[in-house]
């Protein structure tokens, strides 16, 4: 009896494959155009020496920035754009274990990175580690509190998501909380993409909704971008300190010292 050869198992699709396919659709191109415009404005006046974009090679988030060294960090399954499209240095690495020295980066951009990550907390810890004091962090993501977010929630129940199925979209308020716990100071933020969540080219015929949404329901845009600055730990004293006005502090007991051990702020 001739043994039946084993049926080859199909390897699972890369985790970002549906995301990359969605970016080629009319809604995806619409989001990319809006984000490119916002990133151009935010990074234009950020100065330093080293700037890094993590993922989303479909747009150049550092296009208007003038730092001498710009790099993009890609995962193994990311599509690398043609070399003539930009002047990036390509780095293949894991965003949860950044291959940079501590406090060595002046600008870090995370376009839709946290919502596709298995552990977004770890990515933010790594960003906090590699950013210099007063360095800039820019994050973009989908807004769950929008018409697009509502359609995504409903369409998941019927098995046909409007946005990429892989994403676990994180609200802006939660992102702000995480940044503040890491001692980041929020600098600016934008909401955008107010068109209805439609498929095909019909989305291109709703340009009139952009100014209306920006004026009447700004916080319900489908996409948000937030910028934050890494601050120094502690307080900076200016001028001469009058030691006579500083009261003496009694030493802590061993029990109190154990209760004040520093914990991970994102847990």
| Separation of alpha carbons 130 and 134, rounded Å | 12
Q: Is residue 97 predicted with pLDDT exceeding 80?
A: yes
Residue boundaries of the structural domains of the chain:
17-235
Cβ atoms of 74 and 92 closer than 8 Å? yes
Which option is the CATH number for 17-235: 1.10.40.30, 3.30.70.260, 3.40.50.150, 3.60.70.12?
A: 3.40.50.150
Tell me the pLDDT band of 6, cut-offs 50, 70 and 90. Answer: very low
Instruction: Please report the pLDDT score of residue 39 as a whole number.
Output: 96
Cβ atoms of 81 and 58 closer than 8 Å? yes
Out of 60-74, 201-215, 227-241, 251-265, pick the least confident: 251-265
Q: Is residue 201 predicted with pLDDT exceeding 90?
A: no
Instruction: Give the position of tokens 């946290």.
Output: 114
| Separation of alpha carbons 219 and 190, rounded Å | 9
Range 123-135 burial, b when 16+ CB lie within 10 A, else e: bbbbbbebbbeeb
Kindly report the number of other CB atoms within 10 A of residue 251's CB atom: 7
Which residues touch 211 (CB under 8 Å, ≥6 apart)?
Answer: none
């Amino acid at each position: 009896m001739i043994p039946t050869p084993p049926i080859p198992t199909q390897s699972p699709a890369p985790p970002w494959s549906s995301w990359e396919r969605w970016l080629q659709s009319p809604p995806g191109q619409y989001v990319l155009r809006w984000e490119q415009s916002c990133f151009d404005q935010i990074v234009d006046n950020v100065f330093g020496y080293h700037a890094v974009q993590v993922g989303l090679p479909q747009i150049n988030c550092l296009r208007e920035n003038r730092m001498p060294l710009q790099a993009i960090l890609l995962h193994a399954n990311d599509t690398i754009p043609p070399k003539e499209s930009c002047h990036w240095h390509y780095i293949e690495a894991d965003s949860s274990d950044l291959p940079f020295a501590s406090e060595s980066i002046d600008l870090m951009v995370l376009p839709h990175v946290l919502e596709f990550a298995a552990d977004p907390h770890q990515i933010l810890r790594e960003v906090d580690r590699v950013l210099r004091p007063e360095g800039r962090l820019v994050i973009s993501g989908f807004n769950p509190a929008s018409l697009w977010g509502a359609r995504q929630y409903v369409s998941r129940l019927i098995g046909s998501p409007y946005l990429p199925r892989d994403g676990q979209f994180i609200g802006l308020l939660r992102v702000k909380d995480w940044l503040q716990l890491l001692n980041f100071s929020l600098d600016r933020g934008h909401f955008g993409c107010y068109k209805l969540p439609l498929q095909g080219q019909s989305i291109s015929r709703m340009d009139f909704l952009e100014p209306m949404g920006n004026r009447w329901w700004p916080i319900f845009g489908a996409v948000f971008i937030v910028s934050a600055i890494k601050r120094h730990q502690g307080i900076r004293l200016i001028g001469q300190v009058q030691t006579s006005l500083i009261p003496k502090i009694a030493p802590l007991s061993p029990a109190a010292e154990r209760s004040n051990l520093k914990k991970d702020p994102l847990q």
